Every structure is written in C-alpha cells, then in structure tokens.
Chains A and B, each alone.
Chain A
Amino acid sequence: MSMINYASREINCKIVYYGTGLGGKTTNLEWVHSRVDPESRGKMISLATETDRTLFFDFLPVDLGSIRGFKTRFHLYTVPGQVYYNASRKLILKGVDGIIFVADSQAQRAEANIEAMHNLFENLESYGYDLETIPFAIQYNKRDLDNILSVEDLREQLNPAGVPDFEGVAIEGKGVFETLRAVSKLVVKTLN
C-alpha cells in the first residue's frame, strides 16, 4: 500500500503489470522507461533466469507531479507471466496500489488470458485485499497481429466489471501511456 517517505518528501505507489506470459508486460514497462524524463526515473532492474526465459520483475520509479510538496513516485513492476512462477507473482502483488492487466489479443492465448485473470484474483484474495478498492485497468495488447480476437470478445472474456480498458500495440507504444494514466489517476484518488 502507498507509503510516505518524509525524508525525501515522496508518496510511493506500487503499480503491477499482470497478465499472461509473453503478452507484453515488459514491453509496456520498457516503453514507459524509454519515454520518461531520465532525470525522474530510476534504474530498471530485471532479475532473469539464466536462460532469460522469465523476468522476475522490473522496477521503475517515476516522479509524477506533487501534492502539497510531496512528489508522487510510481514504482512499476512486472510479474513473470509463465504460469509456474506463481510464487513470485504472488510476492510481487504484496502491497500493490494499482494493477494493469496486459492481455494478449491473439486467439490462441485466450485461455491463458482467462487463467491469468483467475490467478490474479486468487492471489489478491489470498492476501485479503479488497478487490473493490484496487485501481485496475486492462490493456488488450498486440492489436497489430493477425488472428486476434475482437475487442468485444476480449471484453466479454476478461472485463465483466467494465473497468477502464484500452487497445494496445505496446511495441510501438500505442496504448501504453493511456493505460498507465488511467490507473495512475485511480491510484491517486485512492490515496484518499
């Protein structure tokens, strides 16, 4: 949950990119990192296996305005998407302030998207987090590829609650900041 660092006069918020394996979570984070002011960003750190198969997480603080003299620092994390890394996914969700679910629009990944969404809800519930209070947005990524589902189908499968959702081509930056902006705004509001 959000925390204040009085020494540096910062409010720290944690946003986690969640979703199926190879769906574009890291691409989102890399795009953000490449476009923000270098003076306001921290190091991007990835912990990868020897085979570079799975990112453990990335870490990216981004300053974003200030509230009464307190800067808001967003810490952006990805989780490893491959299903059998659930332990680390769960660990990274601890203390989350906002979640961006990156769905892979390709038809062959539909089942993986749904499983990842179930997994997200299960892991949040295991911490006793109140799902109604966690800012949440969905990005339907890879809209540039062939054999993708329609946004309507994806929405039906993944977004029954009607949370903010966006189309994305993360590798080109499309939808990346729109999604982040939506969740960031909700996170700031929940600091209430």
Chain B
Amino acid sequence: MTMTQSSYFVTCPACETSFPVDPSRVPAGGVRAICSTCMRVFQVDPPEAVDHIPADIPADPVAARTPELEVQTESPVESASAPIIDAEVEDEFGDAEVRIEVDDEAADSLDDFGDSEFEVEEEPQDPVDEVEAEVDLDEPIGETGDEAVEVDEAATVDEEDIDVATVEEEAAEPSPVADQSLSKAAARFGRRDPHDRAKRLARVLVSDMLTYHPAQYEEAVSQGRLKEEFEEEIRLSWEEYEEQIGRELAESTDYFIEALNEILARGETLFRGVGRPE
C-alpha cells in the first residue's frame, strides 16, 4: 500500500473500518465503495465533503429498491485475513492492478482441490522462479488507523526475488486465456438488434414472475386476480425493461404487453395497449 501525504481516511458507516484514500482518485461527485470487511456499500466523497458523510447513506440503487436488506451470517468462522478494500473500490480509484507471474506447475497444483480436499498449502510445492508485483493499493488500516502508515509494500515484502515495481495504471497485457476465443462469443452475445433484445427481455422478465412466485401465481390465476397480485412485480419489471432498452422503444412498442398476455395471462388478452401496462 502506498500512503501519500494527501491521503485521507474514510470509515465504513457499518463496521467502522477505516480506509486510506488517495483523493486524486475520487471524482467530484464521489464514488460508491464496498467495505470488504462487512460488505456494506457506502458513498466515498471527495476530501472536502468527507466531514459531511451521513451515518446511514442509502447503499446503492439496489438497496434503494430493496430497503429492507438483512445481513445473515451463516458461518461462525471468521476470516483470518486482514481487511482490504475490495476490488470495486480499487477500480473506482484508478484501475490499480496486481501482476504475479506463475508457471503452469503452480497453476496445476490447483488440481489438488476437489470435493473432499480443498486444503491450504502452507508452503509452495514448486516455488516459482520469479514473482513480479505491481501495486497501487490503499489498504484498510483496522480500527485505529495507526497501522496504515506502517503498511508499506517495500518494507513488508522480504522475498528476495519479489520485485515491487513502480505504479502502473495501464491495462494488463492480454493473457494466455485469450486462446479461449471469447471474442467469438462476444460477437454473438452482447450485441443484438434493439427490438430482438426488447422482446426477449420482456419475455424473460415476465417469465421470472412465474418462476419466482409459482404458488402465488397459481392462486392469482384461480382467483382471477393476476393484475392485482402481480402489480408490484409488473411495476419493477417494467422499470428495468425501460431502463435497459430505453424509454422511447419501451413506450412505443407492445412487446412488454405481449409478454404479459402470452406468459402471465396464458394467452388471454388481459393487458392492452402499448408501452407501460395499465
């Protein structure tokens, strides 16, 4: 971690873990960050506004949509690792990255884990010949904040052949997995005719209503109360539909209405018109 003199600290409003932040990486409007300790999403404002961060900021658009989020802890085992700012924060702060060179043997050692064995190797079986790391990470500093200044990669990395290079913010070079030819998949997925996209999105949004609420659906059908019982689902789905394909296309076509009638209403014309369902 590199602490610059101009770094300032932000504190997770949920668990109060402090993180040093380079102000040059926080845009004027601030950024959203995920606390890696408790996973709370919170707003990080530029330094001049930091004193005004409210204690309980709406987490993000998702949290705003689902205001009653609950945190459930299912395992009593605590992570032994020191807290870190998660990748979301890191990216927002400037695409910091880490590069480690490993050989195939090291990668193949991953074959050792499986259904019954997912063990930790305390020592490397075949030490790699060269490890290169490039970092520009601001790491959290725990409760007190005092540790931050002491965490310096040059000081803490004592492996003789680990070379801490200068900060680099350019994209990593293409890796060997480019051989997967994912570009072919990219050509097929992700780029599509807006109308085809709208039709499929509408159908899948409506299909989700049945998939996630099968009992409620059957009851609503039997009672003839589909519109009423699924009003909220329809509203949420329409909002997402409109956001993804754009208001103009959403409002000017009947794709969403068609999907509601075909899938939700089982072929009956329960919904009419174009655009937003009535």
Contact = CB atoms under 8 A, between A and B. Distances in A.
B274 to A, nearest CB: 20
Contact of B99 (A32, A134, A191): A191
B69 A49 contact: yes
A4 B137 contact: yes
Contacts of A118: 189-190, 192, 197, 200
A22 B139 contact: no
A1 B87 contact: yes
Given A66-B122, A67-B124, A83-B208, A95 B69 contact: no
A192 B176 contact: yes
A134 B87 CA distance: 15
A58 to B, nearest CB: 9
B3 interface: no
Interface residues of A, number: 97
A136 interface: yes
Given A7-B156, A181-B113, A189-B175, A95 B86 contact: yes
Contacts of B74: 33, 43-46
Tell which of A61, A83, A112 has the most Cβ of chain B within 10 Å: A83
Nearest to B130: A68
Contact of B87 (A4, A70, A95): A95
B99 to A, nearest CB: 7
B157 A6 contact: yes
Given A40-B118, A94-B91, 13 more contacts: A35-B115, A45-B72, A46-B72, A47-B70, A65-B106, A65-B112, A68-B127, A69-B159, A88-B60, A115-B200, A120-B189, A122-B190, A181-B110
